[in-house]
Copies of this chain bind each other. A is one copy, B any other.
């Protein structure tokens, strides 16, 4: 799918606030309500927009402790990678998990209540996964930027 300048501007608006009415969007884009409506529907149909979600303030739900954890497996066999990834998907505390190149194999973003809950998570959940070689945890001191936007 090809995106023109209007599509990109529309995507940016929806990345910032998806609760805007098509009327509001139409004013900002200098288009009719119908024109905006059909562009949005097309972006949804083509899966450019994958979903609409509510973002939650982690402090307000008592998940103030954010940790990034690097994980190294003992081997890089397809089998080991597959097992690890399947098990990670079961852990709700892990909001993000990426397979990365470099010294460590995976980078995890983990939301918990506090250090105690993190210890529980490490001891009873993460490190029970097979084939993990080593881990290194980085505790978040401050949040400079935590956006879901992708700049176009």
Residues of A within 8 A of B (CB): 1, 3, 11, 14-19, 46-58, 60-61, 63, 66, 68, 85, 88-89, 92-102, 104, 106-107, 111, 136, 138-152
B53 to A98, Cβ gap below 8 A?
Answer: no
Residue of B nearest to A61 (CB): B152
Beyond A17-B51, A107-B138, whether A148 also contacts B57 by CB under 8 A is no
A14 to B96, Cβ gap below 8 A?
Answer: no
A145 to B51, Cβ gap below 8 A?
Answer: no
Separation of A113 and B102 alpha carbons in the complex (Å): 20
B93 to A151, Cβ gap below 8 A?
Answer: yes
Separation of A143 and B54 alpha carbons in the complex (Å): 22
Residue of B nearest to A152 (CB): B61
Beyond A3-B61, A95-B147, A145-B94, whether A101 also contacts B138 by CB under 8 A is yes
A139 to B100, Cβ gap below 8 A?
Answer: yes
Separation of A31 and B127 alpha carbons in the complex (Å): 40
A101 to B141, Cβ gap below 8 A?
Answer: yes
Q: List 28 A-B contacts (CB under 8 A).
A: A11-B54, A14-B53, A14-B54, A15-B54, A16-B51, A18-B52, A18-B54, A47-B60, A48-B56, A48-B60, A53-B149, A58-B150, A68-B98, A68-B100, A88-B144, A89-B144, A89-B145, A92-B151, A95-B149, A96-B146, A98-B141, A98-B142, A98-B143, A99-B140, A100-B139, A100-B140, A104-B138, A111-B150
